[in-house]
Structure 1
């Protein structure tokens, strides 16, 4: 398996459709398959799935119910879901989107259209992650795509900020504060932000520093200490690397930001 490929889960109770989609998407993506919602949830719990394409009409757990479970489950609420359906009524589209589906495609559909939808969803997620990481004042909630994600990110942000002056704050501390296992916390943060927990802690430190620099009440060396850096030089270097300007340049530009 090529671990550099994005992992996509295809869910449909029709073998021929699954094989058709696998043939069409297999060159670009690592493909996992499931025949119904129950089997799909098992795959999601075991594999690092990054996007789901699911039929709506399936036995036991249909696509709507499956989407609802995915979007309300902490472990994989961040995973984009594309629903495929022969139901082309406006009400069915509204239902799918209200349950958190990221896209809704009517059958019959062109494979090229599905490819573009998948590529756009993945690309937009990456752009938003980059925008969050590189923009000093952008809130962590911009990366949330479900209520479960938003709640998780807000709690995480509060925990980091409440302990921001602690130089030794790391993933072990975060896992304890969040009452989660270290592997689960690591997976969730990485899946949402494409950052490791320690990288997210560092970005949060720097974003807090940017807020304090904007206020203009403290010296740079004071802010460095307040956000958990043992050295102003180290702080300045990290700030420049993250945001493309030094703390003093940021202060000079603050009227334009």
Structure 2
């Protein structure tokens, strides 16, 4: 049986009240991305509730809800604050740019713009997020909040880390419990974690345990079997396998690196 190796394209949401511009941008992006469209900020928010959008490209001047208000809501709502926002506008005044950036926009592009410019901005924003995710996952002592793309993200990840840490020894901690403790619905929580970290909640819990274990081992005050028990692993061998798979070294090697004497 042939293995399906199809690459999942990132989902981009385009927001503009001009249908011709929407079609023009969508046609240019569809080779590399899955594209959704919305005609104003209000319909864009409806789309964000339904789909795991990874980046938003929005016009500023729109009826019902403009791009500034959409950006403000995205960057202040925990459910969406991880999503990069590119603002497009014909208003090329410095004050307009400042307003967009103060609201948390990740990039600001003046109309008329070249499709290549927009393509590069989108690719760079998504690439930078992926590098941050990879660095977090592979580095034993890098905190969860390192993946934050906004102040709201930072607060969300701080709280999430606190909740996981409080229930570190609970081997039954799952996505339902975490979502409840974070005051989010299960689908919204799952989608947020997947997009912000490229991990499932279960994988994130496991990595958080391993990072706590790395912190404890780095102190030199605990034995490996003690740390395994303190961080909710069923056995030292199970802990060792997980640690090596995540960080590329056994716990004993990690201890030696931190305490060569």
User: Aligning the two structures, in what range does the TM-score lie when normalised by the shorter sequence?
Assistant: over 0.9
Gapped regions of structure 2 (runs ≥ 5) = 1-5
- What's 2:97 paired with? 93
Cα offset, 1:3, TM superposition: 8.4
Residues 30-60 of structure 1, C-alpha deviations (whole Å, 9 max, x = no match): 1111111111111111222111111111122
SS of match in other structure, 2:88: strand
TM-score w.r.t. length of structure 1: 0.95
Per-residue displacement from partner, 1:60-82 (whole Å, max 9, x unpaired)? Answer: 21111111111112221211110
Task: Tell me what 2:45 maps to.
Answer: 41
List alignment gaps of at least 5 residues for structure 1: none
CA deviation map 1:92-119 (0-9, x unaligned): 1111111010111111111111101101
Residues 1:232 and 2:223 aligned together: no
Q: Tell me the CA shift for residue 175 of structure 1.
A: 2.6
Q: Which stretch of structure 1 is more off in the superposition, 216-225 or 182-191? A: 182-191
Post-superposition offset of 1:172: 2.6
Give the alignment's Cα RMSD to 1 decimal: 1.5
- Select the residue among 6, 10, 23 that pairs with 2:10: 6
1:185 to 182, 189, 203: 189
2:110 is the alignment partner of 1:106:
yes
Tell me the TM-score normalised to structure 2 length.
Answer: 0.93
Which residue matches 2:3? Answer: none
Note the 1:42-57 alignment, pairs <5 A: 42-57=46-61
User: Number of residues paired by the alignment?
Assistant: 255
Structure 1 position 28 matched with structure 2 position 32: yes
Q: Return the match for 1:212 from 212, 216, 224.
A: 216
SS at match of 1:84: strand
Q: Which of 6, 11, 22 does residue 18 from structure 1 map onto?
A: 22
